[in-house]
Structure 1
Amino acid sequence: MPPNPPHTPLRRLSQGSLFRLSRSEAYPDAPHGLGFLEPALAELIDEAEALQTNVEGLKNLDNALETFNESFASWLYVMNMNALTIDWPQAPIDASFVLAARRAEEDAQAALEAIRAAEAAARRPPTPPERTMTTERSAMSPSEGPTEANITAGTGGTNKSAAKPGVVKKKGTKPKMTAKEKRERGLEIERILAALPLEFRGDDPNLRRYIEQVIEKFLDNPGESFNIVAFVKPPDLNQARVNKCLIALVNRKIVKKDNSTGAVLYYWNGLPS
């Protein structure tokens, strides 16, 4: 008889139940029944525990990343706020403080000189007033001096009024400004105040009023120079406030400070172009 042709054996699981698999000749020492599943389940438990450990590690990593992201975002926000509130490009440098100290020293020296000048003027004895021509004429008798008729005759009949020596002319009052002039003056003062620091532009209404008085003093007397005492109007506009206003105007080069003559004088320059 010819030998049986070779054939591919079927898989073991397809040849019968789990019982037959456990009792097969290939695994004679296999446990009875479902006992062979115990090692597989033990390995599955070990793998499940390893998976749980890895998942917990991923969870801890996620919590750590969340904490880091929150802290890093807070740090970036603080740096941004710091740049917006503290990091000013026009912040003063060391040279600014040196310049400010030198200006303060010059202003203190100018104030001291003004006080000394005021004290010297107060200690100076008053000069006796000169007698006017009217007083002399009223004091003279007709025989002691020329009469009005003789003076008229000696001048060819004309009675020209001459300036009387010793009579001080009163300064004329400031002419009234029209509505247009007031409006133009207000606009000019606003342009000047716009170039000054914020405290002079409405942050302190009293300080704004003081510097407006100082500016109007210059505008009412164009081309003239003044010392610091000329702006003092007690009790509101004292010397310290005038000094502060003049320092702000000098720093913006609106007013020029000159001490070449020995006395500190201030000149009006106007807004720089």
Structure 2
Amino acid sequence: MPAPTPHRTPLRRVSQGSLFALSRSGAHPEAPHGLGFLEPAMAELADEVDALHSNVDGLRALGDALQTFNESFASWLYVMNMNALTVEWPEAPTDASFILAKRRAEEDAHAAILALQVRNQPEPSKEEKTTEAGNATTLGDNTIANDSSAPGPKPSTTVKVKKKGKPKLTAKEKKERSLAVDKTVSCLPLEFRGNDPVLRRNIETVIEALMDSGGRGVKLIELITPPDLNQARVNKCLIALVNRKIVTKDNSTGAVLYHWQGVPT
């Protein structure tokens, strides 16, 4: 009885990446010789290239879809922003503004009708003008004579009343006022706190005038003190104060009024 063949570990197949070795492998005696082994490899490469091309087309389609979505979403955000700036505009007219405008239109129409009636009235002749002038002179003489002969106190002359100026402040009040003004200016943009003494003096003048208003609304024209503090500078100062919510702007009555609120805590 012959001895059994000892078991041996079979040789591993050569690396699949080595086409030349694969073609010369003893495990595949039917492998083609020469360049014939490239045909199946090129066919597999062509299949992989087709798959890559389809994947690239899918990525391009995905990019186009994302671009379309981004444009649509950006347009929606822009429309929402414009809607907030137009619909929720705090300067929009209120019901009182429309009532005031209607009242003014009625007054203008009434004044136009009166002017048209006066224009259409016939002019008096020269004789009528002379008669009316004589009657007016006679009536005036009689009135003067009656006033001079009538007993009683004579009419008093009109006395002009001088406007009251700003109330004088004590030294302590002046110091407190100066500290309050400095605190207010420190909350404003840098251009009001910079090295421009004219602009600093203008903003201090506007702040002091608003403080002296006593809580009542102040119009822009009341703050103008030419030649230094003109309308443009007053408007610039008021815009800065309104943006910092130190002053509130009210136009509910038809006229723009500014109310002093102070530095917000």
TM-score normalized by the length of structure 1: 0.41
TM-score normalized by the length of structure 2: 0.42
User: Larger relative contact order (C-alpha < 8 A, sep ≥ 6)?
Assistant: 2
